[in-house]
Structure 1
Amino acid sequence: MASQQSASNHSNRRHKHEGRQKHIVAFIFSIVLSLIAFAAVASVAEVNATFIIILLLVMAVLQVIIQMAYWMHMKDKGHLLPVVFMLGGAFVALTCIVMALYWVWW
């Protein structure tokens, strides 16, 4: 009896699923960010273009974080190596962009 209970507890821990609620919240948040982006671009005549560009960049970063955390499950344990490689790739890409801008401007 005790071995059955411990086996079922181990099975429950191993197959724990986060459920629909977090995915639905992440999906709604993504939709809201997209709608805000569309509204910002539509109001380009009334609002400063620099503000809209900054707003769009911030919302794009938020979208990437949501996509990676909830849809690609990067927030779960065991995903450290892909995160390290993505951060390394982002560092190399940003270094290339900065050096290209430096090369063009000077």
Structure 2
Amino acid sequence: MANINSSSENPKVDLQYRRKKNAEDMKKQVVSFVLMIFLTLIAFAAVGFEELSFGHFVVPFIVVLAAIQVVFQLYYFMHMSHKGHEQPTLFLFSGVLVALLTVAAMMTLVWW
């Protein structure tokens, strides 16, 4: 009864599979975390170098880095990469699309 969703009748095989899967997930999370720290350091470096501040380069660059970090956090730390999370992912990205369209529409109304 405890192994209703198991792929085999041998609980030892399932335990080994789960351990392997958990190790892979942990490796992906550590790599994602290191990449996010690296992106944060790049953002700090972009703000720290006065040579890069010409032509309003820093603000859009930091916004792009922040968007990349949000995707990393949603995909790996919120477990959106796992099976069975397709519906919440669809709703989340649909909400992001609606928010972006709303901001674009309001900016268009203000500028015209």
TM-score category, normalised to shorter length:
0.7 to 0.9
1:70-85 correspondence runs (5 A): 70-85=76-91
In structure 2, C-alpha distance between the alignment counterparts of 1:80 and 1:39, rounded to whole Å: 36
Q: Percent identity?
A: 37
TM-score by length of 1: 0.79
User: C-alpha deviations, 1:12-46, integer Å up to 9, x for none?
Assistant: 44663135322221111111111111111112x31
Residue 10 of structure 1, CA deviation = 4.1
The one-letter amino acid of 1:46's match is E
Gaps of 5+ in 1: none
Gaps of 5+ in 2: 1-7
Which residue number corresponds to residue 10 of structure 2? Answer: 6
TM-score by length of 2: 0.75
- The change in CA–CA distance for 1:57 and 1:20 in structure 2 (over 3 A counts) is same
Runs (4+) off by over 6 Å:
none
Q: How large is the Cα RMSD of the aligned pairs?
A: 2.2
Equivalent pairs counted in the alignment come to 102
**More relative contact order in 1 or in 2 (CA 8 Å, sep 6+)?**
1
The one-letter amino acid of 1:8's match is K
In structure 2, C-alpha distance between the alignment counterparts of 1:5 and 1:82, rounded to whole Å: 32
